[in-house]
Structure 1
Amino acid sequence: MTSLAGFLLASLALVAVPGPNLIYIVTRSVRDGRRAGLVSALGVETGTLVHVLLAVGGLAALVTDHPLAFTVLRYAGAGYLAQLGVRTLVRCPSPAGEGQPEPARRRLLRVYGDAVLVNLLNPKVVLFFLAFLPQFVPTGLSAGDTRARMLVLGAVFLTVALALDLCYALLGAALTSRLRGTPRGQRRLSYAVGGVYLALAALVFV
């Protein structure tokens, strides 16, 4: 129980630290509103679930054990973030509001898919789960018990992360609701969000 409580506190502290996943959720909710923010949170944590399963199955270690594969993952993640930034700037709302808006369902599916990829292509998340989960697994367990323990810890982390992500999404949407109500405000938000994505792409290599 003590170990689980320690893992819970550590998870809270780690999730609260701003990173690409959290910043992506906040920027989505800031620019596109509450629904987009909530959907992006679900997408990010879908990626987290995949990371947990890869770590439990030992597949994530294969990436870190091969420098070329890890380098490719880093470049892919940076490239995708840069592509998001450029796409946001290019699709910035025009002053007169020309063009047909993207259907809501398609837009939310895009938001979800982007969120999953932002998480999956973040090499620091791979390293995080490889280094973090094993610290809270007792030594001397069988291989099956070790995997079961890591799955439980992964579920706890996923629950904590999703709860905090949803809170950040709601907060970001609430704080910028007035700006999204005007074309000029939407353009400003789009410029800001696009710049954030491009900055995140650069920070992948830091």
Structure 2
Amino acid sequence: MVPLHELLLFAGAALLMVLAPGPNMIYLVSRSACQGRRAGVVSLAGVVTGFLVHMLAAALGLTALFLAVPFAYEALKWAGAGYLAYLAWQAVKPGAVSPLALRELPWDPPGKLFLMGFLTNVLNPKIAVFYLSIFPQFVSPRHGSLFAQSLQLGATQIVVSFTVNLCIVLSAARFAAWLARSPGWLAAQRYVMGSVLAGMAVQLLSEQRKAA
């Protein structure tokens, strides 16, 4: 199993990732604000199901592959860092708009809400980068079954993300009203998010591949 101190470090990384606005957060805030908490919770159920797909993909072989093949691991690490750097630039470039600026969404039935939440997460590049670039750094053959470690890390990430996103869904209406009164915060948030993403890119490049 993953040592406790590494599990806590991973949970911290998962928390930073979920707090950095991306497709999941934008969709859940907009959907909850436009259609209410129930719609937000159904959408969140779809998002969580999408996390299970990412987790099982990693647990069933991707993690072991990237730990076993140094070139693949290094290539993916650089690709992940490059993508995080790109997101950081998108956040701070002149004329950029905060991703937390709410979108108007039409009313949708529960089945479509669940499906849209699921597809938003399964196709979310931020989550894919997290699972394929950061996730393998916390898995090591020294700690036992790679499959069991992957499930443990995946469950931790899902719990962290679900908790944060549920709070977002339940407070979306108040959050939307606050955003409308705080245009300056939206601008400042872009630079905070850009700094966090840039820091994650640097951290990712500085990580050493775990020895077998």
Identity %: 39
Report if aligned partners of 1:37, 1:173 keep a CA contact under 8 Å in 2. no
Question: Size of the alignment, in residue pairs?
Answer: 138
CA distances 1:72-119 after superposition (whole Å, capped 9, x unpaired):
xxxxxxxxxxxxxxxx97x86xxxxxxxxx7xxx71121111110111
Match of 1:40 among 40, 43, 57: 43
Q: Identify if the C-alpha distance between structure 1 residues 123 and 11 changes in structure 2 by more than 3 Å, giving closer, same or farther.
A: closer
Distance in 1 between the 2:25 and 2:155 partners? 18
1:139, distance to aligned residue in structure 2 (A): 4.4
Partner in structure 2 of residue 157 of structure 1? 157
Partner in structure 2 of residue 140 of structure 1? 142
Distance in 1 between the 2:17 and 2:175 partners? 24
1:14 aligns with 2:17: yes
1:138, distance to aligned residue in structure 2 (A): 2.8
CA distances 1:174-193 after superposition (whole Å, capped 9, x unpaired):
4559xxxxxxxxxxxxxxxx
Q: Identify if the C-alpha distance between structure 1 residues 108 and 173 changes in structure 2 by more than 3 Å, giving closer, same or farther.
A: farther
Unaligned runs of 5+ in 1: 66-87, 93-101, 178-206
Distance in 2 between the 1:158 and 1:5 partners? 14
Partner in structure 2 of residue 84 of structure 1? none
Q: How does 1:55-70 map to 2 (within 5 A)?
A: 55-58=58-61
Structure with the greater alpha carbon radius of gyration: 1
1:10, distance to aligned residue in structure 2 (A): 1.5
1:124, distance to aligned residue in structure 2 (A): 3.5
Q: How does 1:1-206 map to 2 (within 5 A)?
A: 1-58=4-61, 107-141=109-143, 145-175=145-175
TM-score normalised per structure 1: 0.59
Q: Identify if the C-alpha distance between structure 1 residues 124 and 14 changes in structure 2 by more than 3 Å, giving closer, same or farther.
A: closer
Bigger shift: 119-128 or 2-11?
119-128
TM-score normalised per structure 2: 0.58
Q: Identify if the C-alpha distance between structure 1 residues 123 and 175 changes in structure 2 by more than 3 Å, giving closer, same or farther.
A: closer
Distance in 1 between the 2:40 and 2:17 partners? 20
CA distances 1:116-143 after superposition (whole Å, capped 9, x unpaired):
011112234222201121111234356x
